[in-house]
Structure 1
Amino acid sequence: MEKYGAGSIVVSDYDPNWPILFEQESTRIKKALGSFALAIEHMGSTAVPGLPSKPIIDLLVGVPSLEEAKERWIEPIRSLGYNYVPEYVSWLPGELFFRKGPPGPWTHHVHLMEPSYPRWEALLVFRDYLRAHSEAAQAYANIKRALAASSVDDIEAYRTGKHIFVEETTAKARAWRAHAARSMMAPD
């Protein structure tokens, strides 16, 4: 069992400071990585207004080369107070994962990957769908709260419990986005 930081998993009510915390950290990461950071997106539940979440700011950082990131950019991110977690490569292939904060609970996660990696699109379309569909966000909130209560400090059980909802909602989100794109292209 993979334990969650320093105690039980807590899903907090939405905090309107989360976008501000994202912007502050995004600025620090942009400064550390310079032009190597192609894009920095706020992702995960803290990026969806009104959605309860573990109070961890997730930053999705696009880079032109994951191999170059492994060779040259781990230390600059560490200098910002992040710990690189190489053992997550088996769970998160195609990205470098960092977390910041006392040894749990963490305050920030950085997911470094190439924007062409399929997970990049999946994370953003899921976020955008929840932002646009309050009923889906509410269903996700209910699942997260129930899983936090039943998983206690087993983060793997928490992640696994969300998996089906995330996969199904991501599929709906892709269809939603494709429909919106077709609607924009249709002649009047």
Structure 2
Amino acid sequence: MTHSDIVVSKFDERWSEIFQSMKQVLSKYLNDLIIDIEHVGSTSVQGLGAKPILDIDIVIENYDVFPHVIQGLENIGYFHQEEWSFYGREAFGRKDVYTPWDGNSTRWMEHHLYVCNKDSKELARHLVFRDYLRNNPQVVIEYENLKRNLANTVKDRTSYTLGKTEFISMILEKVTDQMIK
């Protein structure tokens, strides 16, 4: 029995498929305003168990287009969560389970949506960590074991996140050191 409400699910191939479907909807409504849409977080790493919540980073050139991006996202059911945002990574919430509204009443998987400018440190961290895990299967096993242990021992989401921070920081430091050499 777990102490928290955190469930680390076995990796699911459908996560990538769902992301691709969502990317098509988001791209359709944001097309020229964005550079790319990245699937980040644990659900983007083949074989890694995760909370079944997609993490999505929409990449923009700069903040000049951001007001238009907000409008485009509002048109399909998102709202800007300024209280969860900071410069370089803007958070968006969903009005309902059908967000992003695609005209087909699709009930989408739970997800976190962010808009990042292309030079954002947070975007860089997301991509570097994801790519490192994708290229290091042994580290994927270590990370999943840590996450399962935390899910079984901590009492809340904050403690779970804090428990992962040291591991993530260690990986980011290692990658940064390798890039400098």
TM-score by length of 2: 0.82
Alignment of 1:14-53 (within 5 A): 14-53=11-50
Cα separation, 2, equivalents of 1:176 and 1:59:
26
C-alpha separation between the residues in 2 aligned to 1:82 and 1:148? Answer: 29
Q: Which residue in 2 is equivalent to 1:156?
A: 158
Paired residue secondary structure (2:119): coil
**Secondary structure of the residue that 2:84 maps to in structure 1?**
helix
Q: Quick check: 1:126–1:170 contact (8 Å CA) kept in 2? A: yes
Structure 2 regions of 5+ residues with no counterpart? 98-108
Deviation at 1:168, TM superposition (A): 0.5
Match of 2:146 in 1: 143
| C-alpha distance 136-99 of structure 1, shift in aligned 2 (>3 A) | farther
- Number of residue pairs the alignment of both structures matches: 166
Q: How many Å separate the matches in 1 of 2:71 and 2:157?
A: 27
Q: Secondary structure at the match of 1:86?
A: strand
Q: How much does 1:80 deviate?
A: 2.7
Say whether residues 1:97 and 2:91 are aligned partners: yes
Against the structure 1 CA distance between its residues 78 and 151, is the aligned structure 2 distance closer, same or farther, given a 3 Å change threshold?
farther
Alpha-carbon deviation of 1:17?
A: 0.5
For normalisation by structure 1, the TM-score amounts to: 0.79
Q: Contact (CA 8 Å) 2:89, 2:122: kept in 1 or not?
A: no
More helix by percentage: 1
State the 1:144 CA deviation.
1.1
How big is the shift at 1:82?
A: 2.9
* Structure with a larger share of its residues in strand: 2
Structure 2 residue identity aligned to 1:139: E
